[in-house]
Structure 1
Amino acid sequence: TILGMSLRTVAFLTFLFLPLQAQDLKINIGPAAGSVLQRDNDGRADIKIAGTAPRAALNKFVEARVINEKGDPLPGKDWQALERVKNTAWSGLLKSVPQGGPYSLEVRVAGTTSIDAIKDFYIGDLWLLAGQSNMEGVGNLADLEQPDPRIRSFDQSDRWVLAAEPLHQLVNAADRVHWRKDKEGNLKKLEGQDLEQYVANRKKGAGLGLSFAKAMLQRTGVPIGLLPCAHGGTSMDQWSPALKDKQGDSLYGATYRRFLATGGRIRGILWYQGESDASPKAVAAFPEKFEKLISAFRQDFLQPDLPFYYVQIGRHVNYTNQAEWNAVQEVQRKLESRIPKVGMVPAVDLSLDDAIHISTADHKRLALRLANQIAHDLHPDLENFRPYKRGPRPANAKLEGDIVRVLFAEVNGKLVSSGRLGGFSIHDSQGAPVPAVFRAQIDPRDGNSVILSISGKLPDGATVHYAAGRDPYANLNDELDMGAPAFGPLPIER
């Protein structure tokens, strides 16, 4: 015996006061390693954590702290008591963790030195990427945007990884809706050697997401998380919010599931879709379906003012359903003026890497257009971007003798074109093109106007179009490289 205590009692007391081992104290709920948590309007985030502890820790406080990559506690975030351990479980909330990272979160039982930790997470902005192939990215995998450790991606297999091209990889996604069909017509997830061969042979896959994230990181200085959810060749019907309950068997359901898996709050959505709805069967319902989709995202995500930025569909080297293609573009052009917290960027002037997909080089231009508009709209604290405008938007067209003057609003600096200005045409009241424009030029005395020199008399009800058809040559921009959208019919005032 020791001081009258049996060896059994001594052994029991020794067990009670043994240092708690890291494997005994566990964080079961908290930020994933490599993840980005969405900051609030003050640039901070509350972090919910929970876990388990051994019975020896019953009724003791669990403490937590957040440290930077040098191992120093963040100001005001050194060891803080959370809750007492109850039935081997504990939980707590770390409030107002500032934007930045990489951070580590450490927990311990009060009075002990053993620690469990989550390493390498960030506080910043999350952007969801959705739509069809031009958002998925089908640019050539050459001259790619280089990764940055502060830009992370929740890849389609539900892992937080360093964001790198290609961001989208559907064939081994966590959600069945993205899988390919095998020879028997069954959905199949690629794994093992089949997946390795697919990755090794892949030549396409560059998109706008990584370039956008780097531009936003440069502008805001905060880490960026990307949620790639796009799928090539998909229509509005396939993106229907009515299919949400199908979860991973529907595009909307899979996207909603991934939104919840990353914390249930994002900075905004980037959308590029519409090509699959440019058909006689689908085009009439496109406006209503597009608006309902935006409304559903905002309602289901519990963010009524969720920013939604989209790309107006661009070119397609194809001559079928041209009127429907332009009708989709016109719906997209007009929508941004009707719904708050919505913005559009054009793509009709950009180069392609095949008959329909934006080139890798011009995905970078497109990404900058989105970043410029978003920096202006959502970040009034960024003084350099306050003067920025959305880019050329048609205001009116007027007949002045033998010219038609097309006035543009929202021009940054003045209108510019690379080479001979192209893309403008005159159409009659039924939409048929009229051979009237023999020269188009930017007014040298008014950088907001384009002058169309015309021959002959214009028919009654004549209108101006820009980038009519599916494969136009259109090259009107402003000095910030914000492109002019495809538009028409725009009535000609007399």
Structure 2
Amino acid sequence: MSIKPFGVEIINGPQHWAIIQQQQGKGTIQLTGISSVMEGDVPVSAQVYARLVMEDGTGDVVSWTRCLMGDRGAWKLLLTDIPAGGLYRLETCLRLEERQPMELATRGDMIHHIGVGDIWVIAGQSNAAGYGRGAVSDPPMLGVHLLRHNGKWDLATHPFNESTQTRQSLNGEPVNPGHSPYLAFAKQVREETGIPIGLLQTALGGSPLSRWNPDEEGDLYRNMMNVIESAGGSVRGMLWYQGCSDCDEGNAASYLDRFCRMAEYWRSELCNKKLPILTVQLNRNAGYAEGEEGNHGWGKVRDAQRMAAMKLDQVYVVPSLDSPLSDIIHNSPAGNLLLGGRLAKMAVAGVYGKAVPPRAPNIIKAEVGRSLREGKLTVLLEFGDVAGELFAVGPGERIFSIHDEAGVEGVAQWRILDKNKVELALPRTLQGAACVHGYYEANPSAFPILDTGTYMPMLAFYGVAIQQEDKGE
């Protein structure tokens, strides 16, 4: 025996587990639906009500509110100024007459686990999609939710980029993905800001920057914007991890300009000139075997990532060269936890303004030294953003190389001076204009120079000009 539906039905509104992007600490929920009385009831003046309550049982956020009634039981409601927070539960009911107690009103649909907070978009290639393999403790957290490929919000759990019942076929992975850095990121931001965090996964393994740049192919850019629109059209920021597929000579040389242009498109379409973009400088390719020429492409892309954070406001970069791998190129779950934590600290400080952003050591100057060391010419490197002091985990490792008209040559002897300077003892006299590289190879030293204040390695750099005294005539 079928029972005729009755009460309040929500036709349009947030999904269960949805995160609603806040605007200046407030959120908005728009609802529409239909209502009908139970067979045998004789309503005097049927009226739909809705309210928003704390899901932990601590009380109302928005008390019972009359909805605007239309023909044949249709109704609608716009709830504004909902405070950032949650999780919330939205309840509806149908009051058959004005004096009827709300507790005895006819049933209505409910929406569970709603948060008003910030949405972050994940974009890039495989290390953004999440390919970490192996066991690690990284459990879900209420208030950290994910819009899955099937178009439904859910509690965020690994793997993020799996494509069950996908509506996002364009960024579906060819194999099952694994562990991602962004659950750890979102949980830490949630804990330190107190607001729910939503994640939109739009990354695709192996994708070059051209697929994210409207000036080039741009298909993944358009896919990303469609996903953002499906989540309400507004986000707090971007999580970008990409570059391995652009390390060929042609694409590497133009990476900085193309990234900046891409960021400009993102910000324009999302109507936010200062949209935060958190990036990761490339880790290593442990299986690289394509020769010295290819090394320069990796160096150029890493340097472009370093320079983008210096050139563009609200673009941040964290290093990854100390992150362990699951295979020759993908960060392991332990490495993802490390990177997720770094990104979270950067977001909490730089985006949410709760501290000074913990930046990695970044080269600011290279100049020929004023004195010789054991009869050799020296070059002095000076670094900014050093919170403690520079510390060498593996002294004697080949980290730096000089590049001049005679070619590229590694520097075998170097030492740390003061808290933020490194002195290189050059293997030969510089020939003409010269520059210095640091960690530029596809698979550089496994023992980077660290900052004792943050324990982050220095950012890799490429082609930093060495200032030389004019010799005159």
TM over 0.5: yes
Q: Which residue of 2 aligns with 1:296?
A: 265
Cα contact 1:36–1:122 (8 A) shared by 2: yes
Select 2:30's aligned residue among 22, 43, 48: 48
Q: Which residue of 1 aligns with 2:92?
A: 107
Structure 1 residue 369: Cα displacement: 1.6
The superposition leaves residues 399-451 of structure 1 with CA deviations (integer Å, 9 ceiling, x where unpaired) of 2223322111112222234333645323232483224x3333332xx212222
Q: Is 2:114 aligned against 1:121?
A: yes
Structure 1 residue 367: Cα displacement: 1.2
Map 1:382-393 to 2 at 5 A: 382=354, 386-393=355-362
3-state SS of 1:309 partner: strand
Q: Is 2:2 aligned against 1:27?
A: no
Q: Which residue of 1 aligns with 2:471?
A: none
Q: Which residue of 2 aligns with 1:74?
A: 60
Q: Which residue of 2 aligns with 1:64?
A: 50
Cα contact 2:22–2:117 (8 A) shared by 1: yes
Select 2:124's aligned residue among 124, 127, 131: 131
The superposition leaves residues 429-475 of structure 1 with CA deviations (integer Å, 9 ceiling, x where unpaired) of 2483224x3333332xx212222233443333232211021110151
Residues 281, 210 of structure 1: alpha-carbon distance in 2 compared, 3 angstrom cutoff: same
Map 1:117-196 to 2 at 5 A: 117-170=110-163, 172-179=165-172
Residues 60, 293 of structure 1: alpha-carbon distance in 2 compared, 3 angstrom cutoff: farther
Residues 63, 315 of structure 1: alpha-carbon distance in 2 compared, 3 angstrom cutoff: same
Structure 1 residue 101: Cα displacement: 1.8
Q: Distance in 2 between matches of 1:243 and 1:63?
A: 50
Q: Distance in 2 between matches of 1:430 and 1:146?
A: 53
Residues 349, 58 of structure 1: alpha-carbon distance in 2 compared, 3 angstrom cutoff: farther
Select 1:238's aligned residue among 192, 195, 211: 211
Select 1:216's aligned residue among 174, 179, 189: 189
Residues 86, 270 of structure 1: alpha-carbon distance in 2 compared, 3 angstrom cutoff: same
Map 1:277-426 to 2 at 5 A: 277-317=246-286, 318-320=288-290, 321-380=294-353, 382=354, 386-400=355-369, 401-402=371-372, 403-420=378-395, 422-426=397-401
Cα contact 1:153–1:163 (8 A) shared by 2: yes
Q: Report the residue type matching 1:366 in the other structure.
A: L
When normalised by structure 1's length, the TM-score is 0.82
Q: Report the residue type matching 1:406 in the other structure.
A: L
The superposition leaves residues 112-138 of structure 1 with CA deviations (integer Å, 9 ceiling, x where unpaired) of 612321111111211111100010111
Q: Which residue of 2 aligns with 1:487?
A: 461
Q: Is 2:414 aligned against 1:440?
A: yes
Structure 1 residue 162: Cα displacement: 1.6
Q: RMSD of the TM alignment (CA)?
A: 2.6
Q: Which residue of 2 aligns with 1:252?
A: 221
The superposition leaves residues 194-248 of structure 1 with CA deviations (integer Å, 9 ceiling, x where unpaired) of xxxx8xxx6x61121111111212221222111111110111222233699x9xx
Structure 1 residue 303: Cα displacement: 2.7
3-state SS of 1:234 partner: coil
Structure 1 residue 94: Cα displacement: 1.1
Q: Distance in 2 between matches of 1:337 and 1:411?
A: 16
Q: Is 2:249 aligned against 1:276?
A: no
Structure 1 residue 268: Cα displacement: 0.5
Structure 1 gaps, min length 5: 1-20, 182-197
Q: Report the residue type matching 1:147 in the other structure.
A: P
Q: Distance in 2 between matches of 1:489 and 1:431?
A: 15
Cα contact 1:123–1:223 (8 A) shared by 2: yes
Structure 1 residue 283: Cα displacement: 3.0
Q: Report the residue type matching 1:481 in the other structure.
A: Y
Q: Which residue of 2 aligns with 1:452?
A: 424
Structure 2 gaps, min length 5: 373-377, 469-473
Q: Which residue of 2 aligns with 1:428?
A: 403
Q: Distance in 1 between matches of 2:193 and 2:250?
A: 43
Select 1:226's aligned residue among 199, 218, 224: 199
Cα contact 2:161–2:172 (8 A) shared by 1: no
Structure 1 residue 61: Cα displacement: 4.8
Residues 358, 221 of structure 1: alpha-carbon distance in 2 compared, 3 angstrom cutoff: same
The superposition leaves residues 367-420 of structure 1 with CA deviations (integer Å, 9 ceiling, x where unpaired) of 12211211111122x2xxx24432211110122223322111112222234333
The superposition leaves residues 47-93 of structure 1 with CA deviations (integer Å, 9 ceiling, x where unpaired) of 11121223988986532211112445335x11122323345322221
Q: Report the residue type matching 2:381 in the other structure.
A: V
Higher deviation after alignment, 294-303 or 451-460: 451-460
Q: Distance in 2 between matches of 1:243 and 1:48?
A: 37
Cα contact 1:398–1:405 (8 A) shared by 2: yes
Q: Distance in 2 between matches of 1:376 and 1:61?
A: 47
Cα contact 2:171–2:203 (8 A) shared by 1: no
Q: Distance in 2 between matches of 1:240 and 1:49?
A: 36
Residues 460, 297 of structure 1: alpha-carbon distance in 2 compared, 3 angstrom cutoff: same
3-state SS of 1:391 partner: coil
Q: Report the residue type matching 1:102 in the other structure.
A: L
Q: Which residue of 2 aligns with 1:195?
A: none
Cα contact 2:212–2:221 (8 A) shared by 1: yes
Q: Distance in 1 between matches of 2:173 and 2:361?
A: 41
Cα contact 2:149–2:164 (8 A) shared by 1: no
Select 1:95's aligned residue among 51, 64, 80: 80
Residues 416, 214 of structure 1: alpha-carbon distance in 2 compared, 3 angstrom cutoff: farther
Cα contact 2:8–2:48 (8 A) shared by 1: no
Q: Distance in 2 between matches of 1:58 and 1:94?
A: 26
Q: Report the residue type matching 1:372 in the other structure.
A: K
Q: Report the residue type matching 1:95 in the other structure.
A: T
Cα contact 1:66–1:73 (8 A) shared by 2: no
Q: Percent identity at matched positions?
A: 28
When normalised by structure 2's length, the TM-score is 0.86
3-state SS of 2:150 partner: coil
